[in-house]
């Protein structure tokens, strides 16, 4: 197996990981910032206040983006399995 092939596979794996995780991370970040602003504006210093909105929004994000995430991951796995015979020849 050549070095270029290994680097290509690693680059693609990192890119797929970023693509699949980005929607959920962005939703968590946005909800966290909004709840933080709300807490700062109302002087509520409850650490557990952001947990429930994040949990609900993450559940909604999984419902919305889950099908796309699964299809991206399965396409990637299919491409990897198709490349296996050519990697060691």
Place of tokens 């290994």: 6
Higher per-residue confidence, 86 vs 56? 56
| Contact yes or no for 28/58 (Cβ under 8 A) | yes
Q: Sign of torsion, CA 36 38 41 46?
A: negative
Mean pLDDT, the chain, integer: 92
* Span 16-53, pLDDT tens digits: 999 999 999 999 999 999 999 998 898 888 878 888 99
- Residues whose CB falls within 8 Å of the CB of residue 72, separated by 6 or more in sequence, listed in order: 16, 19, 20
In three-state secondary structure terms, 88 is coil
Q: What percent of the chain has pLDDT over 70?
A: 99
């Amino acid at each position: 197996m050549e070095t270029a092939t290994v680097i290509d596979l690693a680059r693609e794996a990192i890119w797929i990981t970023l693509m699949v995780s980005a929607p959920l991370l962005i939703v968590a970040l946005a909800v966290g910032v909004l709840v933080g602003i709300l807490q700062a504006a109302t002087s509520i210093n409850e650490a557990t206040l952001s947990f429930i909105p994040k949990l609900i929004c993450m559940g909604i994000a999984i419902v919305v983006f889950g099908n796309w995430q699964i299809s991206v991951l399965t396409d990637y796995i299919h491409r990897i399995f198709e490349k296996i015979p050519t990697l060691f020849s």
